[in-house]
Amino acid sequence: MKHHAIFLDRDGTINHDSGYVKDPSQIILLPGVSKGIKKLKDEFGFKAIVISNQAGVSKGIMTSGDVESVNDRINELLNNEGTGIDAFYYCPFHPDLDPPEKSNCRKPSPFMIVQAAEEHGIDLSKSYMIGDKASDVESGINAGVKTVLINSEDNRKEISILHNLGKKPNFTAANFKEVCDFIVNDFSGGI
């Protein structure tokens, strides 16, 4: 049986993005994230899978161990709320620093979403990509999933990037509660 999933960007979508997040003790989940993930998993059977660019590894700002420690802390905080992330995928490479065959996993490439779908039996036509950057939306579009852009302080720039590419998300949300409301309505056939 095929599953359906919410693919989530990490920094700026699940947790506060302070720039190259590498210290697990500083992880702060964004409002509504725990409750929203729990609802989508428990009531609607979604798998929750993180899809994240982590070029700070390639840039020498952090290690893969730092990324994994932050991922573990995110799941610890989510577990305290009765939920969690099913799998974390991240691309540690950057096209300016690494050969194309390594950095091809980087969003807006659909590489990580497709890999996760194959490894977890995900039906992409019933899945969603949630993020706060144009590259998240592009990655989702490229993978054939519906996309949700979360408004952040600098979202005008992200929306402008998408507009210039002739692309747009299926939905733009002010916060994670609106993300969940859209997905519940859309998945249930209400939109």
Is there a contact between 33 and 178 (Cβ–Cβ < 8 Å)? no
Locate tokens 């697990």: which residue? 24
Q: Residue 168 and residue 16: Cα distance in Å, rounded? A: 24
Our answer to whether residue 186 is catalytic in this structure is no
Which neighbouring-strand residues pair with 15? Answer: 11, 29
Structure letter (DSSP) for residue 116: H
Q: Residue 139 and residue 142: Cα distance in Å, rounded? A: 5
Residue 170 in tokens = 């299926």
Locate tokens 């952040």: which residue? 152
Is there a contact between 180 and 36 (Cβ–Cβ < 8 Å)? yes
CA nearest neighbour of 122 among 157, 154, 86: 86
Alpha carbons within 13 A on the beta-carbon side of 145: 34
Our answer to whether residue 11 is catalytic in this structure is yes
Instruction: Provide the annotated active-site residues.
Output: 9, 11
